[in-house]
Amino acid sequence: MYRILSTTQKLFALFIILFHLLQVCPAETPEGQAVGLVKNISLMCNITIGSASSVILDFLNEWGVEPLEEIIPSEIFANQYCKIFVNGMWVGVHQDQAFMYEKLLKSKRRLDFESEVSVVTDLTNAEIKIFTDAGRAMRPLYVVDPVTQKLELKRELFYDL
């Protein structure tokens, strides 16, 4: 903290603050691009509070995920199964990675489970990772139709907020 010694310095500091109010973006700083980027993310993101992973595990059991206890380890690589992780724990395998990923994304967009749940697919390692834990930074996501390349935002979505 700086100590202001006289009233003229106080007025000068106030003048600078009011002068910058309308001319400087609050998200950008003179320190460089990295600081502005970090501040932009901090202005837009939310921190997850966590949700129960039991709901996700129930969905996975419904959709034909085979638990690890029921499968021989050599079959995982021979049949090219997709490994499914929930909060870093390997919970099972599935035969069709693309089907399972699309099913999870559609369920998330229909709000069958919490919107804080993150679903990530890794094609090179044949893995689907699902995260429901607390403390992750989440940023806004715009959904684009793959055919028309247009945003799938509708007025009803904004009214629901």
Q: Can you list the domains of the chain with their CATH numbers?
A: 50-137 (3.90.1070.20)
* Mean pLDDT (the chain, rounded): 77
Taking only the tens place, the pLDDT of each residue in 116-134 is 899 999 998 899 999 999 9
Q: What is the pTM of this model?
A: 0.68
Question: Using an 8 Å Cβ cutoff, are 59 and 73 in contact?
Answer: no
Taking only the tens place, the pLDDT of each residue in 63-97 is 989 988 888 888 777 778 899 999 999 999 999 99
